[in-house]
Chain A
């Protein structure tokens, strides 16, 4: 079997397992997995920039929230149906990331982290400031009647799982396609040695901007779906915490791997879920686990798998 067929078999098989799990899982884990798939889609978006292009953004919550509020506000105030509302969320993500990219990508390294962090804070504060429409901290609920997409009620767990699976599959396949495409390979080369890529005649700025918009588009799509599937949009999704989460998920699962974002999200979700059953200081347990992982498996779980076992993993 050549590498391409191995890659298709593994990722196709993985999606099939996720498809099958909806019939097997008990209700509680069924609901969790739907949520994890949407959050993992967000992480896939983050990974395009962080894992594959080597750009560490601390402001991705801005894009996640752009999708969520682009979708939610257009339902709430413009009376949009779910499909155009989702589209509005995605477009919001594209526009904001392109504008931010044009400014932030003039910097690099630590400055880039700070600039993205500051703009994300500005986004969060804007949501609070325009509380009249956004309902600020409290957020707003998207009612069941507004969550019927093409006759399918997305508030039903089965439909919701399926919608999450479709979103996740689309993001996963898009990412897989991208990193095997010449554009994606150039992004990886930029991560490895930016100066050299410029001296091969590639426009670094244009490639980074492309990576940022693609990354943000996937993140915004995840944000829009999250709001629609779980029926709520709130400012907490625009906080720093939601910029840090995808970074942690990707680090845990393996930066620059296709399956890493899902594995990391799954791991962290259940780590918090299980430890909060034991103690109220559950973040302490999560923190210790993170420290151990970064000490003993700095490439992340899938990264270790690639280093030790399957060198062909994309």
Chain B
């Protein structure tokens, strides 16, 4: 398969948080807003005049300083982000909006704040609560929290216009990104997909880390290029898998899976497209903020939602992806020490095997996976077992 002409451009955007497009956005007078969790609706952070940057810590080496402040028993992603903040990697931010959702990430942001890691004048942090259920009471609470701790601070401290009209504009821009990614994602359902999981992960991750309006043109050109891209005659993969679990902000991990013969066809994790990149439908009968919040509550698949319906819905959803994307198995992966995914992975991977009869690999992993030999062996052994079963079924 010919390389995507824009792939290198997107890969470069992922090499640091303060990438070319972020710098361009700042130069244009836009306010960069740090985001650490998918429970804060992205359109709220992408109102005209500001843009969201989902915090990552690419090319992380040692996380000793992060570990000193947070202890070695907390999530490595949170420690790596704190480490990057201490190193000065997020100096460009005007603020960070953090939900009281994951206490570990919360502690990371508190440390960033208290250690004055970001010295930009006027920098502030706003914390808000996010519901653990998805009913009407939770929705009302969610709306109030988003208004008080996201929209109001953006208006009061950064001068962002939070009008209904602007919220609609932000949703439309968000939806445009979603529609392009959905269009690209559809190719992953093909028998011999014309896009690899790694390529998709690069594109999708970039949409979380750059001003959307500046990324749009390049993303559209990739979608155009894909329309006529021809996959290799002989598939360069042995089996197809769905990847579910905690956040993967490094497409290299998807690349590692694919090097062992898997083709990642669907991504049910933070920084993935499913369901995060499903467009938000708006009507004229209700205020926009409530509609955005309802969409996030309804579509949200974070294991922080602990009501039984949501827990089972998440498993059904992964099973549905397996069928829709014609996958041979599921890889449930979890960042080490992630409490929410620790429970979810154990329960879901058991059910995936026993209730849905879907072969499942269940692993925990560090934040930095690099060229981990042990992970490679696990992925490869899983691919081999899937392939053999597949061949046996074919007779």
The answer to whether A and B assemble together is no
Chain B interface residues (CB < 8 Å from chain A): none
